[in-house]
């Protein structure tokens, strides 16, 4: 199940991406030299929706590409979707599980999910369910490897996120089974 069209990030003007890719090495160079990069940063932030620390400009290359750094900066700020349906939230989680998201999309949709389900810590639920539940034995064998049969479905993950934050989505199945008790917050 792919991300529904209405939830997809709108494409960014290629000219804007190209201009920001041109600005990036200039900003880095100016910051590394200890200069004043304010004029360059003003140009950058004419387009960017995400504010980076100075340190991020100097160290992004350790964890991401120039293009993903720029595209992440251009991602819109996620907001609460009052029209969100249960199956739409499941589709977003499915996109993580199938690996269909690029790096900047992963960043956006993780933030988006956290906005939809505040205080649920849904990123841990998706990627580290043993940590989220506080009980590795639910998901790992005695040697520490994840047991595939214990993997939660996207529907269960959305169910747990809703239970944790108190939000109910239209279209939630009446017979949704959550196999483990909701862990205490803490």
pLDDT tens track for 133-176:
999 899 888 888 888 888 999 999 999 999 999 999 999 999 99
Percent of the chain with pLDDT over 90: 74
pTM of the model: 0.88
Cβ neighbour number for residue 48 with a 10 Å cutoff: 18
47 pLDDT above the threshold of 90: yes
Residue 1's pLDDT band, with cuts at 50, 70 and 90, is: low
Is the Cβ–Cβ distance between 74 and 48 less than 8 Å? yes
In which band, very low, low, confident or very high, does the pLDDT at 184 lie, cut at 50, 70 and 90?
Answer: confident
Q: What is the pLDDT of residues 65-105, one digit of tens each?
A: 999 999 999 999 999 999 999 999 999 999 998 888 999 99
Q: What is the dihedral of CA 174, 94, 182, 148, to 10 degrees?
A: 110
Rounded mean pLDDT, 7-27: 95
Comparing CA positions, the residue from 120, 96, 97 lying closest to residue 108 is 96
Domain residue limits, the chain:
12-74, 86-165
Sign of the alpha-carbon torsion through 109, 114, 120, 123 = positive
- Show the tokens assigned to 83: 């029209």
Query: What φ, ψ does residue 140 adopt, rounded to 5°?
Result: -120, 150
State the pLDDT confidence band at 185, using cuts at 50, 70 and 90: confident
DSSP secondary structure, 121-165, as one string: -HHHHHH-HHHHHT-GGGTB-TTS-B-GGGPPPHHHHHHHHHHHH
């Amino acid at each position: 199940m792919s991300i529904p069209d209405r939830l997809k990030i709108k494409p960014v003007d290629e000219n804007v991406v190209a201009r920001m890719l041109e600005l990036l090495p200039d900003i880095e160079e100016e910051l590394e030299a200890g200069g004043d990069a304010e004029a360059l940063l003003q140009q950058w932030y004419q387009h960017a929706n995400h504010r980076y620390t100075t340190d991020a400009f100097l160290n992004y290359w350790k964890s991401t590409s120039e293009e993903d750094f720029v595209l992440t900066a251009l991602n819109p700020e996620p907001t609460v979707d009052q029209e969100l349906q249960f199956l739409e939230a499941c589709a977003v989680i499915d996109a993580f599980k199938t690996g269909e998201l690029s790096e900047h999309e992963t960043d956006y949709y993780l933030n988006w999910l956290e906005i939809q389900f505040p205080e649920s810590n849904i990123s841990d639920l998706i990627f580290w369910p043993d940590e989220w539940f506080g009980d590795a034995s639910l998901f790992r064998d005695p040697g520490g490897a994840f047991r595939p049969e214990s993997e939660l479905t996207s529907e269960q993950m959305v169910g747990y996120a809703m239970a944790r934050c108190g939000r109910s989505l239209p279209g939630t199945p009446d017979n949704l089974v959550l196999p483990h008790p909701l862990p205490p917050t803490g």
